[in-house]
Amino acid sequence: MKNKENLPVVILLGGQGMRMRGDTPTKKELVDVGGQPILWHVMKIFAAYGHTRFVLALGYQADAIKRYFLEFEAMTRDFTLRLGDSGEIAYHQTNQENDWQVTLADTGLLTEKGGRIRRVKHYLEADTFFVTYGDGVGDIDIDALLAFHRSHGCVATITGVQARWHYGLVHAGAGGQVSKLEEKPRVDSWINGGFMVFERGVFDYLESDETDLERQTLARLAGEGQLMMYRHNGFWGKMDTFKEAQVLDELWRHEKPWKVW
């Protein structure tokens, strides 16, 4: 644990993962990366910094996420059980997730991401809380992110990352002479990599289930000068497609570039 403060972490898990549907029968955030679901990796990043109070905003295939956590102890620990009426189970050894508090909240099948945050408001007692997605990982310094957020006094902070272009770039002159080839270069522009921090005032910008987080809430905050960006220059990766899942799995098995625990 790197920080004694334990702030709530809202993880948005309600989407249908359309770009992965058909490639896997598993809910996207439960797709295996190095022996564990990508969701577990996301949670481990926050837990490494002492933030172990998770609120999972569920929607599509909520039952799959619930089943994973209901079965978590039995699937991750040795145990002895007594058959018959008592059904007693004695678990052996502890796991590193022993102190996690996980609230699973069904926020509706068609609710937009901003609406999902609005629906879990009553589970968030703290004035400051994190929000992230269940399919993006990075070696984010959560302590530095939180310190940056508190230094500027605005309602919201997003983590900016520079993703890599999916294709190689060819630099050529007017006559066709190629001067340089770049294989999947990092783009100059910054994108929202998730790992966001909000003050409670953000709920003033979440009006209904139809409120879109990116196009409405963050856009309004930016327009009113209440949105800041923390620049992350380290590793960041997401999993929108089955190919990206394979890439992350390979990276984890050989490099573990987002392992901060």
Least Cα distance to 30 among 52, 55, 8, 63 occurs for 63
Give the pLDDT score at 186.
65
Q: What is the pLDDT averaged over residues 31-55?
A: 97
The residue that leads in pLDDT, 166 or 73, is 73
Q: pLDDT of 64-102, one tens digit each? A: 999 999 999 999 899 999 888 777 899 998 888 989 999
Written in H, E and C, the secondary structure of 148-171 is: HHHHHCCCEEEEEECCECCCCEEE
Give the pLDDT score at 178.
75
The CATH superfamily label for domain 8-82+90-161+189-254 reads Spore Coat Polysaccharide Biosynthesis Protein SpsA; Chain A (3.90.550.10)
Query: For residue 252, is pLDDT > 80?
Result: yes
Query: For residue 139, is pLDDT > 90?
Result: yes
Domain boundaries, the chain: 8-82+90-161+189-254
Residue identified by tokens 């625990």 is 261
pTM: 0.88
Give the pLDDT score at 93.
86
